[in-house]
Structure 1
Amino acid sequence: MAAGTAALLLAAAGISVPLLLEDPAAPAPVQPETIAVETPLPPEPVFSYYTQIGPPEGSPLTSVEPLALTVGAAKTGTSLPAGLVGLSLEATDLADPAMSGDNPEMVQSLTGLGKPLLRFGGNAVDRRFFWTSAGEPVPSNLKGDKAHPVRAVAPADLERVNTLLEATDAAINLTVDLGHYDPARAADMAAHASRIFGDRLAGITVGNEPNGYPSNGLRDSGWTMEDYLTELKAYAQAIYEVAPDVKIVGPGVYSEAWWEPFAKVDLPQQKVFSFHHYPLSSCDGKSDANGEPILANLMSQNVHDHADYYRGEALKPASAAGLETWITETGVSACPGSNETTKTHASALWAADYAISGAQLGVSRLSFHSSLITCRGGPPMSAICSGGEYLQPNGAVEERANYFGLSMIAEMQPGEFLAAEETGGGLSHSYAVRHADGSISVVLVNANNPETDAQMNVSLVLPGRPLTAAMSQLTGSSYTSEDSTMIDGQLTEAVPVSERLTLPGFAYGSATQEFVLTAGTVTVLNFTFQD
């Protein structure tokens, strides 16, 4: 109570006191400091800690600059969606009996990719694929070979594929033949697909990489992007008349000049913007040394930064038109045959980083190009392939290293990306996602060399006090190792968060966590917090 006020009260009570006046120049009385009281944490439970694989014995152990990572509470505005990771297959694979819910091998492999989008297209759709609902003979002008035969696809094939979608909770994106102009046949396929797949039909693409038609013989050299748009409109109208709720996904090209015209073209149905991207496709290295598919390029900061830039540029016309963005065909390289990046642990590190960095940029679907041809003699960059001798599949489905990299990201729950600041870490990339239950996942892609680089010290600051810290980790003995990439020590997809062990050195209730990570790993940490 102020002194002047106290004196007046005493005088009113009949007590004679001198009148004390407040000095206006006197400093304001000091208020008691308010001290924030943290909510007490529940008792610390007994944890079972993850056993992380260490560096190989005898390695030079080159030191890696420590990683300082601060995860904030602010959101970036982008999300990790359900069904981010999918596979791209040839349109002729629709006729393969392996694509069935009765095939436990295929069901298991696709389930390891979350709720994937299966995209059917590729070079086959305009060359070796024939849709028929009336049983017509395959046209003689379609040409294939022993490894890539011409195949007819009928409604019964779609019915079989739908059993696989139901068994794996997957979606499907079909591509119709534009190489042989026939809007009515495409509309017939769309009508049957809409009836059979229902809501699982995510969209239909008209043609595969039409920007390449003038150079690959599917159109004459004078065929232009304007011609494509004219033909696209005819296809879209025919499809709309029989399946108005089915979206058109496109243009599905590798030419930037085609992006904005598709984003702006007026079609009667909804659209999804899509493009293809293979970062290391300078096959001989002469046109672009940084784009040659060699390990030195794959394991570089440049390939990460360039991929972010290219995808960011693709997102601009899509965002301006209010369109969702998919990468419907991707992989390390579009160059044919093997190279030093294929089937390697390095490709697993790249695949995991490419998938989650794409989502953080704003891409909502990524389909990694694969093949059902036998692993032996088949496309070496395929994430999955069939067991057995060359072109003699035995029913088994095998997963390559890049599959496991994709599975690490596909197994994560949806959520919103959080802003994060990082320094140090050498060749590493970090991401943070807040999930609907309030937990936060932190993904650390430690792409430093597992043969030569020491473990990386990590200082992680979280926007809260964690009660648990579940850990899953992808490992490999070297960049070049094949068929040895593992998740939690096994050749299988990651287990659910509830079944994972605890981060070694976890500091219960501390916003700052200090730990080490082995080089050549992808680590997913999931933290829960007190409400």
Structure 2
Amino acid sequence: MPQDIPTNREAPPGERRNSRRKKVLAGAAALAVAAAAAVVVPVLLDGDEAPAAGPTGATFSVEAAPTLPPAPEFSYYQQMGPPEGSPLNPVAPLSVKIAAETTGTFLPDGLVGLSLEATDLADPSLSGDNPEMVESLSGLGRPLLRFGGNAVDRRFFWTSAGEAIPGNLKGDKAHPVRAVTPADLQRVNTLLEAVDGEIALTVDLGNYDPARAADMAKAATAAFGERLTGITVGNEPNGFAKTGLRGSGYGIPDYLTELKAYAEAIYAVAPEVPIIGPGTYESAWWKAFAETPLPQERILSFHHYPLSSCEGADPLGKPVMPNLTNRYIHDHANDFRGEALKPALANGLQTWIPETGVSACPGSNETTKTHASALWSADYALSAAQLGISRVSFHSSLITCTGGPPMSAICIGGEYLQPNGRVDERANYYGLSMVAEMPAGDFLKVETASGELTYPYAIRHADGSISVVVVNNHNPETDAQSQVTLELPGKALTGTMSQMTGPAYGAQDGTLIDGAPAEGTPAAERLTVPGFAYGSSTQTFPLTAGTVTVLNFTF
């Protein structure tokens, strides 16, 4: 949105330690709450390459063996319940039927990523030699790192010749002006190699210079090769007139003229690199970009911060906890993103969300850094993919956790603006991690009954297994477990689970995966769904409120 990620001098209640190195402890935590160990049945999940989405309505069959082998002995997953002494409000049962029919959309490999400011390219912490950063980003699967934000047109200067930074660029103590060079890109590439990630860049449009943008594209192609997924021209150009970057009359026709000049200059030196755009939050710009031919491939992109009615002009868009946890935010986000998909589909383009978060309002509010934001993040990513959006990057920052942007998924340890090199994760990071570590696959059609605040998703993987994800958005402090009846399209031989939990919507230091602050138990070591019915297509089990649960079934 048009404002910088806000700084907030209030330190989070507890700085979360990166826990990828504690992955074994996550498995141990899950085992500790399980029944006496019997046999943990491995489930092999396929996963590196995203399959092409099947056509809408494509069907498949799950063939069961004529005679099932004897049921093995299972170790059952034991969920955390509501806090002791909580008043338990009853929750209506949830019925979920998974069809043997695809939606035509798919969960891609690398769906989840982080968005950072363009000036962060100059930050030495973004290096493959930084184990803290490598471990943290690895918890997001194979992430896409997008560099852009408000910095790109205001405080960012690309140079391959060592020129002095122009005097018209202005920053402040927390957001300094920075020059970025080819050496910075080469350093960032070592990080991408370490996490097997990809990168998307943004070039300065606020200070018109197509030749400089092309020079950056040329250097980026040399540094990143196929890891470079695309380049955006300017950040949120629909806001240029409002923020004074351009004159009051600057609009879509001006943008398209300049876009073409940039695209042609970039194409001359990097013809294989797509242009991602327009990267705006106003719908008229989406259609204009989608209908404008360029010499290279195009990808439609837009930005979205659902709860950004900072002064409360729109009561349902104000960043308060009731708005973050109700059904409206889920449904309204689907409607908004559906509008962006229309011009993309009409013109045969992919659709990306390179910048998103709960809110763009300045400072902390009751939604930031909370377990509720973790639930929202997981649901937002999954629902985006199910709609047909293939990349979602959550806006974050490399400023210190103390005083830094409160909505950032990661932050840096140390006193305000005195980083100590430690990388910490906030609650929403764990919601993203739950989605990021699932294998790619086709979404299946789902029918639900009841479940006002539960959002189920089903994905069929290349190995024939099916993952069912249930985001249970009920209040973890006061709501009872939901009794779930799940109808699968085949007879399950194994069924395992991993679960993200939290003690309260507003908890800022209590989001766990499988009982630990980690990415979760490896797929082959997960325990069995409570009450698993061997050889049955009907599974019945409880789910704790305020959770994201990933179930996987083999047949």
* Whole-angstrom distance in 2 between the partners of 1:168 and 1:492: 17
1:464-513 deviation line (CA, Å, top 9, x unaligned): 01111110000000000012101001111123211211111111111000
Amino acid across the alignment from 1:183: P
TM-score (norm 1): 0.92
Percent identity for Structure 1 against Structure 2: 71
Instruction: Identify which of 125, 131, 148 aligns with 1:121.
Output: 148
Partner of 1:456: 482
1:251 aligned to 2:307? no
Question: Bigger shift: 502-511 or 151-160?
Answer: 502-511
Deviation at 1:60, TM superposition (A): 1.3
1:195-235 deviation line (CA, Å, top 9, x unaligned): 11000000000000000000101000011110000000000
1:304 aligned to 2:330? yes
1:362-400 deviation line (CA, Å, top 9, x unaligned): 000000000000000000000000001100111110000
Partner of 1:230: 257
Instruction: Identify which of 157, 162, 169 aligns with 1:142.
Output: 169
Partner of 1:272: 299
* Whole-angstrom distance in 2 between the partners of 1:499 and 1:336: 42
Instruction: Identify which of 166, 183, 186 aligns with 2:193.
Output: 166
Partner of 1:153: 180
Partner of 2:56: none
1:355 aligned to 2:381? yes
* Whole-angstrom distance in 2 between the partners of 1:377 and 1:221: 34
Deviation at 1:95, TM superposition (A): 0.3
Instruction: Identify which of 368, 391, 400 aligns with 2:394.
Output: 368
Instruction: Identify which of 359, 362, 370 aligns with 1:336.
Output: 362
Residue 327 of structure 2 contacts residue 452 of structure 2 at CA under 8 Å; is this kept in 1?
no
Residue 247 of structure 1 contacts residue 270 of structure 1 at CA under 8 Å; is this kept in 2?
yes
Partner of 1:490: 516
Asked which structure has the greater CA Rg, the reply is 1
1:46 aligned to 2:46? no
Instruction: Identify which of 161, 178, 183 aligns with 2:210.
Output: 183
Partner of 1:201: 228
C-alpha distance 427-37 of structure 1, shift in aligned 2 (>3 A): closer
* Whole-angstrom distance in 1 between the partners of 2:73 and 2:135: 33
Partner of 1:55: 82
Equivalent runs, 1:364-513 vs 2, <5 Å: 364-513=390-539
* Whole-angstrom distance in 1 between the partners of 2:119 and 2:515: 36
* Whole-angstrom distance in 2 between the partners of 1:460 and 1:452: 24
Partner of 1:31: none
* Whole-angstrom distance in 1 between the partners of 2:552 and 2:65: 22
Equivalent runs, 1:20-31 vs 2, <5 Å: none
Amino acid across the alignment from 2:95: A
Partner of 1:346: 372
* Whole-angstrom distance in 1 between the partners of 2:294 and 2:300: 13
Residue 95 of structure 1 contacts residue 152 of structure 1 at CA under 8 Å; is this kept in 2?
yes
* Whole-angstrom distance in 1 between the partners of 2:65 and 2:299: 47
C-alpha distance 37-204 of structure 1, shift in aligned 2 (>3 A): closer
Amino acid across the alignment from 1:222: G
Partner of 1:7: none
Amino acid across the alignment from 2:87: P
1:417-437 deviation line (CA, Å, top 9, x unaligned): 000100112311000000000
Question: Bigger shift: 36-45 or 164-173?
Answer: 36-45
Equivalent runs, 1:28-39 vs 2, <5 Å: 39=66
SS at match of 1:449: coil
* Whole-angstrom distance in 1 between the partners of 2:65 and 2:182: 63
* Whole-angstrom distance in 1 between the partners of 2:115 and 2:163: 27
* Whole-angstrom distance in 1 between the partners of 2:89 and 2:407: 30
Residue 64 of structure 2 contacts residue 491 of structure 2 at CA under 8 Å; is this kept in 1?
no
Residue 411 of structure 1 contacts residue 494 of structure 1 at CA under 8 Å; is this kept in 2?
no
Amino acid across the alignment from 1:335: C
SS at match of 2:348: coil
Partner of 2:104: 77
Partner of 1:86: 113
1:335-385 deviation line (CA, Å, top 9, x unaligned): 111110000000000000000010000000000000000000000000000
Higher relative contact order, chain-length normalized (CA < 8 Å, sep 6+): 2
* Whole-angstrom distance in 2 between the partners of 1:230 and 1:146: 35
Amino acid across the alignment from 2:475: N
Amino acid across the alignment from 1:447: N
Residue 64 of structure 1 contacts residue 426 of structure 1 at CA under 8 Å; is this kept in 2?
no
1:524 aligned to 2:550? yes
* Whole-angstrom distance in 2 between the partners of 1:86 and 1:425: 29
How many residue pairs match? The answer is 493
1:389-417 deviation line (CA, Å, top 9, x unaligned): 10011111000000000000001000000
* Whole-angstrom distance in 1 between the partners of 2:95 and 2:251: 51
Computed over aligned residues only, the root mean square deviation of the Cα atoms, in angstroms, reads: 1.0
Instruction: Identify which of 231, 235, 240 aligns with 1:213.
Output: 240
Residue 457 of structure 2 contacts residue 470 of structure 2 at CA under 8 Å; is this kept in 1?
yes
Partner of 2:127: 100
* Whole-angstrom distance in 2 between the partners of 1:154 and 1:101: 18
